Amino acid sequence: MATTSLWHIEGRLKDLIDYVENPEKTASKMPELQDLYNVFSYVQRPEATQEGEYVTAINCLKKTALRQMILTKKRYGKTDGYIAWHGYQSFKPEEVTPQLAHEIGVKLAKEMWGDRFEIIVTTHLDKEHIHCHFCFNSVSFRDGGKYNYSKTEQLRLREASDRLCREYGLSVIEKPHKAPSRPVWLDEKSGKPTRYNVYRADVREAMEFSRTPYYMEDYLRRKGYVTDFTGKHWKLRLPQYEHFTRLDTLDERWTPENIRRSMGRYATFGNRRAYISYPPQMPQELSDWFRPFHKTSHIYKLYLHYCYLLGYLPKHTDYKPTSPYLKEDLRKLDELSQQVRYMSKYGIETFDDLYADREKIQRDMDTLIARRTKLQNRIRRATPAEKETLRQEKAGVTEQITTLRKQLKLNKAIEVRSAKMQEKTDLLYANEYRAKEAQQQKKSQRRERDAR
């Protein structure tokens, strides 16, 4: 059962040349080259590839593969855009030998890209599942064309991998599901609270505290999920997402039959109702200020309110949110902290302040870009002695432009994040209102029964 994936590596040709000269130093300064560093460092990493036995170069030589890729790019003048493509083919644990995995990986690479691109194939034995890595040039040595990864190519890669696996008597995934993006996949593996990890935790909790499917579904709905326990595949989703997720996709053991058999582990004395916690230390004035379902222009207060809901504020609090609307954002606390500090530093309280800051950044950037252009023109006409001074001045201007671009990106990210905060907080309060109305309705029905 082999799985495959492919993604691009961005950068400039200068970055790639610098990388060839000093890979560790370049990769540490340029995170976008880390994938490239990982793949090509494996050529000199015998512990993962059994003394280099499972490293194969196609249309190039192992030790000079990167240099050959650079020459191909220069030959055809394709020096911008994506530097290379990196992919993997991962096999089911204990189903293949290293030799067989590498043989299949090499065949797959030759079939997919071997007629046009320089490729390195490595097979790794340092994880519980044997897997092959592919790294190939983004520019064809044969015709100079750039590789275009489309849905058609994605399907072709999967089908070629499945066909080769069948030829060698290996299992394949008969009904593949859409894979998450690579950053999400990495967070999933590390146990961070991604959407699907939050789903898993809440489903597991609902199973353990419920004795019947009815109460399990009620538990999840109280958490804020939309559920569908009809048919042979039970599923759920949060309101902000369009598509349902099957429980047996989250965990292949979670079929209706298995769930019924394993329910109620902690429900010895009856079913437990889901509980949504709120931060006990949120300042009253901040709590009173927020009005659900009313869009606010005061984004700094919105951020502070949200930080308390997440348990990011106050510092050293033991509170953690239990609502699935909030838990996924716990893996984005670094971004959130950076944005709050930015607003505090530049006195941004409202959207008007944010837009004014954005306009100032753009004006400063335009001024610096114009200045850099003039410096470049002066460098062309300068004497050799003057050029070094002018180049240093230009480098300083470029550094200022880079800083402003980062600020502009942060400024725009605040606007996008604030809209998502408003949406998630509204969903949170709407769910609580529904729960209170349902509770009141049950009390009324109980009183009516008692009065008869």
Q: How many other C-beta atoms can be found within 10 angstroms of the C-beta atom of residue 31? A: 9
| Token reading at 135 | 């790294």
Name the average pLDDT for the chain.
Answer: 87
Length of the chain counted residue by residue? 452
Phi-psi region of 191 (alpha: psi -120 to 50; beta: other; left: phi over 0): left
Residue 339's alpha-carbon distances to 287, 417, 419, 423, in angstroms, are: 21, 9, 14, 18
Phi-psi region of 300 (alpha: psi -120 to 50; beta: other; left: phi over 0): alpha
pLDDT of residue 29: 54
Peptide bond into 324 cis (omega under 30): no
State how far the Cα of 298 lies from the Cα of 353, in Å rounded to an integer: 10
**Percentage of the chain surpassing pLDDT 90?**
61
State how far the Cα of 29 lies from the Cα of 219, in Å rounded to an integer: 48
State how far the Cα of 2 lies from the Cα of 179, in Å rounded to an integer: 13
88-92, 159-163, 294-298, 341-345: least confident range = 88-92
Summarised one tens digit per residue, pLDDT across range 392-411 is 999 999 999 999 999 999 99
Question: Which position has the higher pLDDT, 65 or 218?
Answer: 218
State how far the Cα of 128 lies from the Cα of 105, in Å rounded to an integer: 17
> Where residue 25 falls among pLDDT bands split at 50, 70, 90?
low
Question: Which position has the higher pLDDT, 80 or 254?
Answer: 254
pTM of structure: 0.64
CA-closest candidate to residue 40, choices 121, 157, 100, 111: 121
